[in-house]
Chains A and B, each alone.
Chain A
């Protein structure tokens, strides 16, 4: 079985680097996008096995992007982990309502993130 692809949509370079470094030791292949629109395009293009979606993004928000992906049959079934902002209470629920499979509050522990990824898209 080939390596699973994970798409991380996040505008902050350092946070992308954390996930990049985290997954470097695993068999996951990481593709990245820096805004909501690019994220949607990338998702359709790369057909990832899992998507990490930050909620606050430039252009279109993570919630809108999630909704669009859910609306498209090609990505309707892909697990999406929403990265929410803790203080914006109700973000969790909004993310789930938009179609996210799970959520993780920022700042997240990389270890917990990896556990969640492994749960939703087990390494082959």
Chain B
């Protein structure tokens, strides 16, 4: 027995408890753990050879037992038929002997009768009986075994003597010498008869003894055959059961083992291993499974390491992004303070606080103011975007009027529209309901869209409007400007996205307006989209819930 087989019961070679343990299963477990059968099963499993060869060997073994049983059976049948033949022969010889005795007795009778009747017919009968005797005798002689030959010979000698005597008696009777004949019969034929009778009895006795012996030996043979056949039956059934058990469990155990193993792997226990003593296909399977499990574990560990790395990287990135937005927030104040001074002093100068300014300075000072305001807008946009991206933009929600929003935008853009010679109109329904949201941001969004519309329109008109649509407010800005190619519309809302460089150059801007608009609209739980036709104009929409909830995630 391989030494490792003994150590298996503890480390899981015995199947894990099946869901419902039938009595058959219980018995199998008992046999596997408490009897040497468990060791046999493992030994059989560890025999090198294919499953096919093992099954074939098992069946061959049982077949051999059955063949042996058949051969033995045939042998027994042959022996029994020979014995019954012997018995037949002995019986025949016994019968013939008795016939012989009978024939001799008849011969005696007819001899006596001939002495009385003195006719040829009776004498002829004597001779006939004598012939019968001889015929039977010849048959016995032929069939008798050697040990009886001598006895038969003595009977023949006595019979021949009796024959001669009968012939003499017959002649004496024919001659009418009856007294002599009677004397001869009494003195010679009768003793011969007694002698022959004794001899025949001896033969009969021998045959009977033989028959008795044969009968006994047939009975013994019968018994032996019964035992032998029973033994064979028991042995073949036992062997079949044993082989069935050993072979099937030597296959079932690794399958169960693999099943449990795969179950563990399925629940994420990578790197689990199975120990299977089999050195057949199942052994190969187990090796493959173990290899697979090792590989899985390796992959799992690699993946975990990668995930850890990613997490730390992500953490770092998050910290970096936080630092960036913090930096930008403080930059906001730092940038705004000098901007305040620049714009403030410019305005004071233009307002004549420091005295009347020469007309030649008015233009340059106005340029300083315009560029300062532009710079300020850029700063605001960049800071807004970074705040939104850092997730730190908070809406300050409050009740507001959509009409005020539209009016603020039209008021601040009216002069620009007039300068460009564009028709500029606003449309707000009379019954527009009061809304809740961050008015400043919504104004900023509408301002961006309207600013774009004016910027990208050379002639025609720009229309802005708002209307209630179910639970939302739908803001709209349409223009008769240059338009946007269909395939570009979606991308406009990405940061720093401007249509081709020449357009960007011609009209200026940084490409932040729409992305900030989109983010503010989404912060409100709304959405923004556009429709456009190149050369004909564009319409930008955004819809915002009429009443934005407090506590919306920012």
The residues of A with any CB-CB pair to B shorter than 8 Å are 12, 14-15, 18, 21-22, 24-25, 56, 85-90, 92-93, 106-111
Contact = CB atoms under 8 A, between A and B. Distances in A.
A117 B353 CA distance: 17
Contact of B333 (A25, A56, A89): A56
Contacts of B387: 87, 89
A19 B340 CA distance: 11
Contact of A87 (B340, B343, B383): B383
B348 A22 contact: yes
B338 interface: yes
Contacts of B383: 87
Contacts of B396: 89-90, 92-93
B236 to A, nearest CB: 94
B275 to A, nearest CB: 66
Interface in B392-417: 393-396
A88 B387 CA distance: 9
B339 interface: yes
A112 B337 CA distance: 17
B333 A85 contact: yes
A110 B369 CA distance: 13
Nearest to A89: B394
A15 B332 contact: no
A110 B350 CA distance: 11
B336 A14 contact: no
Q: Which of B329, B340, B343, B345 has the largest number of chain A CB atoms within 10 A?
A: B340
Contact of A15 (B340, B347, B393): B340
Contacts of A14: 338, 341, 344-345
18 contacts: A12-B341, A14-B338, A14-B341, A15-B337, A22-B348, A24-B353, A86-B332, A86-B336, A87-B332, A87-B387, A88-B329, A89-B393, A106-B339, A107-B340, A107-B343, A110-B347, A110-B353, A111-B347
A12 B329 contact: no
A24 B354 CA distance: 10
Given A18-B341, A110-B348, A85 B336 contact: yes
A18 B337 CA distance: 12
B163 to A, nearest CB: 158
A81 to B, nearest CB: 14
B351 interface: yes
Interface of B: 329, 332-333, 336-345, 347-348, 351, 353-354, 376, 380, 383-384, 387, 393-396
Given A85-B332, A88-B333, 5 more contacts: A18-B340, A18-B341, A89-B394, A109-B343, A110-B348
A107 B380 contact: no
Contact of B337 (A22, A93, A106): A106
Contacts of B395: 89
Contact of B344 (A90, A92, A107): A107
Nearest to A113: B344
A50 B111 CA distance: 186
A14 B343 CA distance: 11
Contact of A88 (B332, B340, B353): B332
B322 to A, nearest CB: 16
B400 to A, nearest CB: 13
Contacts of A24: 353
Q: Which of B329, B336, B343 has the largest number of chain A CB atoms within 10 A?
A: B336
A108 B354 CA distance: 19
B353 A22 contact: yes
Top 5 closest pairs, chain A to chain B, by CB: A107-B340, A87-B332, A14-B341, A18-B344, A87-B383
Contacts of B338: 14
Nearest to A94: B396
Contacts of A109: 343-344, 347
A21 B353 contact: yes
Contacts of B340: 12, 15, 18, 106-108
B336 A111 contact: no
B264 to A, nearest CB: 54
Given A14-B338, A106-B337, A90 B343 contact: no
Nearest to A96: B396
Contacts of A89: 387, 393-396
Contacts of A25: 353
A116 to B, nearest CB: 14
B380 A110 contact: no
B193 to A, nearest CB: 156
A107 B348 contact: no
Nearest to B344: A18
B336 A110 contact: no
Contacts of A111: 347, 351
A107 B332 CA distance: 11
A107 B336 contact: yes
Nearest to B386: A87
A92 B396 CA distance: 9
A55 to B, nearest CB: 9
Contacts of B344: 14-15, 18, 107-110
A111 B348 CA distance: 8
